[in-house]
Amino acid sequence: MSLSVSSKKLFGTDGIRGITNEWFTPEQVTRLALAIGSFFEEGSKLLVGRDSRAGNSFIVKSVMSALLSAGIKVYYAGLVPTPALQYYVKHHDFDGGIMVTASHNPSEYSGIKVIVNDGIELPREAEREIEEIYWKRRFRRTSWSALGRDVKSVNDVNEFYIMGVLKLLDIEKIRRQRLKVVIDPANNVGALTTPKLLRAIGVKVTVINGDLSHLPDRQPEPVPENLVEAAAVVKALRADIGIAHDGDADRAIFIDDKGRVIPGDRTAVLLCRHIVENRGERKPGRVVTAVSSSTLVEEILSKYNIEVVWTRVGSIDISRTMTSLGAIAGFEENGGFMYPKHQYVRDGAMTLGLMLELLSTEKRRLSDLYDELPRRYIIKTKVPIKNRGDAVKVVEELKVQYRAERVIDVDGIKVIGKDYWFLVRPSGTEPVMRIFVESGSEESTKKIYNDIVSTIKDLLG
């Protein structure tokens, strides 16, 4: 998903990404940050943070240099998780923040996330505005006489975040359970907060891939193929649970006591149930998630009269829907979980805190809780398409074929049948259609999948 310079769109699903020193050069980053700085009003206060990726040593300096030139008051938080920066911006007198991170992308990538004063990433319309400033080079250059102040350091961002998470948890209950936890922060900023949080609670902690001083030992995306080592350590130490973050620690993927990497929408279902049943939070009776999540969440939460609102794929859409409608939680199937009592964004440490509270309250093992969820057979794959027009044809045809079923068409097409669901949607980053199928049996999952593929073949040849 390397960006081409001719492309008018700079922002992807979450922020701007590119390969360090290929597209993300000092010149390029300066131009981007001039556009971002010009979007905010002159004199705005922005908090800048970064993860420990190789390129961010120079990128963060280019960002701050351009912001100063555009007349922004710049504050520097240093190495922080994205949710820590977001929490700090929300609770202090800042107009926004910039996080220099490529999140879960491979190590050669760098990126920029832009946050506004409520701690959430920019709304989509604001992304378009920044792109326009960038392409038209309508940069604001402040007068020399308005300069005169340097970057100020802010040193308590991680501490403030940890305290914020601790405040919301039943610490005593978790401490009494004497849990053993393995943490894999992908040699990045989660190593600065998650172990401290757990030690403050009194949990026994083992950290792997916790060293920020060298290139990462694993790829940053917390998916099973990158978590083989973490899963082995959980088993070898007989730990109660393992947790893996992505590069900027807004995602939390869990490994159970049997060493299984649990899909993010499954743990989210368990956490939503914990929030309702054990924490007694039933209002507003709503959970927000993207169409790529399993319908298990509806199945489980309908018992508590909690409605599920389906959004487009992308955490910003989930966050913004939560703020406008109200919700007890929101999540993505990739391990991004949002607990609005803390903040309306994905939040790795808060998610872990809730998981430990769940295990301590119910005195259960994660493997048992996971095995109690209805069993589903899943196919997740993608098929190539030539262009956007192909995607529209496929979606329209499926809408006709499945018109008797419940159809959600906010992003591609999601069909929810009696004992199955599927999603067919065009990827935002590659010329492919993504296909997710889930049902109660292997045969029926395969059959639904084959039906979809033959529809696509008939249409596109």
Question: Closer to Mg ion at the Cβ: 267 or 439?
Answer: 267
Segment interacting with Mg ion, rule: CB under 5 A, options 137-145, 240-248, 271-279, 436-444: 240-248
* Smallest separation, CB 258 to Mg ion (Å): 26
Interface residue with Mg ion among 38, 69, 86, 103 (CB under 5 A) is 103
- Cβ atoms 35, 51 nearer than 8 A: no
Segment interacting with Mg ion, rule: CB under 5 A, options 73-81, 149-157, 230-238, 239-247: 239-247
Sign of the Cα torsion 39, 43, 46, 52 reads positive
Provide the 8-state DSSP code for 224: G
* Smallest separation, CB 48 to Mg ion (Å): 17
Question: Closer to Mg ion at the Cβ: 218 or 414?
Answer: 218
Which residue has tokens 């008018």?
8
Question: Closer to Mg ion at the Cβ: 310 or 337?
Answer: 337
The three-point CA angle 280-284-286 to 5° equals 100
Segment interacting with Mg ion, rule: CB under 5 A, options 17-25, 83-91, 238-246, 260-268: 238-246
Question: Closer to Mg ion at the Cβ: 37 or 335?
Answer: 335
Q: Which of 15, 104, 27 is nearest to 58 (CA)?
A: 27
* Smallest separation, CB 11 to Mg ion (Å): 15
Question: Closer to Mg ion at the Cβ: 109 or 402?
Answer: 109
- Cβ atoms 268, 331 nearer than 8 A: yes
Question: Closer to Mg ion at the Cβ: 246 or 347?
Answer: 246
* Smallest separation, CB 331 to Mg ion (Å): 14
Question: Closer to Mg ion at the Cβ: 220 or 242?
Answer: 220
| Residue 246 near Mg ion by CB under 5 A | yes
Question: Closer to Mg ion at the Cβ: 15 or 340?
Answer: 15
User: Which residue number places its CB atom closest to Mg ion?
Assistant: 103
Q: Which of 36, 116, 114 is nearest to 68 (CA)?
A: 36
Segment interacting with Mg ion, rule: CB under 5 A, options 18-26, 101-109, 282-290, 417-425: 101-109
Whole-angstrom distance, CA of residue 349 vs CA of residue 158: 11
Interface residue with Mg ion among 131, 250, 317, 332 (CB under 5 A) is 250
Which residue has tokens 């020193």?
21
DSSP 276-301: HHTS---SS-EEEEETTS-THHHHHH
Segment interacting with Mg ion, rule: CB under 5 A, options 140-148, 243-251, 301-309, 368-376: 243-251
What does each C-alpha distance from 215 to 54, 184, 209, 219, 457 come to in angstroms?
A: 7, 15, 10, 10, 43
Q: Where are the beta strands (DSSP E) in 157-315?
A: 180-184, 204-207, 241-244, 253-255, 261-262, 286-290, 307-311
* Smallest separation, CB 248 to Mg ion (Å): 4
- Cβ atoms 20, 110 nearer than 8 A: yes
**Is 209 in a helix, a strand, or coil?**
coil
| Residue 332 near Mg ion by CB under 5 A | no
Whole-angstrom distance, CA of residue 177 vs CA of residue 356: 9
Whole-angstrom distance, CA of residue 350 vs CA of residue 338: 8
Taking residues 188 to 217 in sequence order and writing x for each that binds Mg ion by CB under 5 A, - otherwise, the string is: ------------------------------
* Smallest separation, CB 366 to Mg ion (Å): 22
Whole-angstrom distance, CA of residue 211 vs CA of residue 226: 17
| Residue 257 near Mg ion by CB under 5 A | no
Interface residue with Mg ion among 248, 256, 317, 347 (CB under 5 A) is 248
Q: Which of 317, 265, 272 is nearest to 292 (CA)?
A: 265
* Smallest separation, CB 51 to Mg ion (Å): 9
Tokens of 71: 């007349």
Segment interacting with Mg ion, rule: CB under 5 A, options 97-105, 156-164, 337-345, 421-429: 97-105
Which residue type occupies 163? M
Counting residues that bind Mg ion (by CB under 5 A) gives: 4
* Smallest separation, CB 55 to Mg ion (Å): 16
Q: Where are the beta strands (DSSP E) in 374-419?
A: 377-384, 406-408, 413-416
Residues labelled as active-site residues: 103
The residue ranges that bind Mg ion (CB under 5 A) are 103, 246, 248, 250
